Amino acid sequence: MIASSSFTVINYIIVDILSILVELFFGHYALTVLQTCTDLMWALFFHLGLSLISCLCFRKRKEKPTKVISITQINTRPSITAVKHD
């Protein structure tokens, strides 16, 4: 989730500010190169990178074996089987 948010912030905010500065100082052709690099970054890091992160984070974990605890109950009170009458 954090990786997705950071990629989105980088792609939309920082790259837009950088593209404005590149076009002002270096021209339209340098902006075209920057946009091509941005598309490559978007394809590699956003789609491929986030898919790998999702596979690692949301994979089904192996089930841990549960411990079987056997409990034996012993009755310490004497049982009344016969009642003696006087």
* pLDDT tens column, 13-68: 887 888 888 889 988 888 888 888 888 877 777 777 777 877 887 777 777 777 77
Q: How far is CA 1 from CA 45, 46, 59, in A?
A: 14, 12, 15
Residue 13 DSSP one-character state: I
Distant-in-sequence, close-in-space partners of 42: CB < 8 Å, separation ≥ 6: 11
Q: How far is CA 66 from CA 15, 63, 69, 71, 72, in A?
A: 51, 9, 9, 16, 19
Q: Is residue 13 part of a domain?
A: yes
Residue 28 belongs to domain spanning: 2-57
Q: Is residue 74 part of a domain?
A: no
Q: Is residue 22 part of a domain?
A: yes
In angstroms, the CA 42 to CA 46 distance is 5
Q: Is residue 80 part of a domain?
A: no
Residue 70 has pLDDT above 70, yes or no: yes
In angstroms, the CA 1 to CA 76 distance is 58
Q: Is residue 20 part of a domain?
A: yes
Give the number of domains in the chain: 1
| pLDDT on residue 81 | 62
Q: Is residue 72 part of a domain?
A: no
**At residue 68, what are phi and psi to the nearest 5 degrees?**
-95, 120
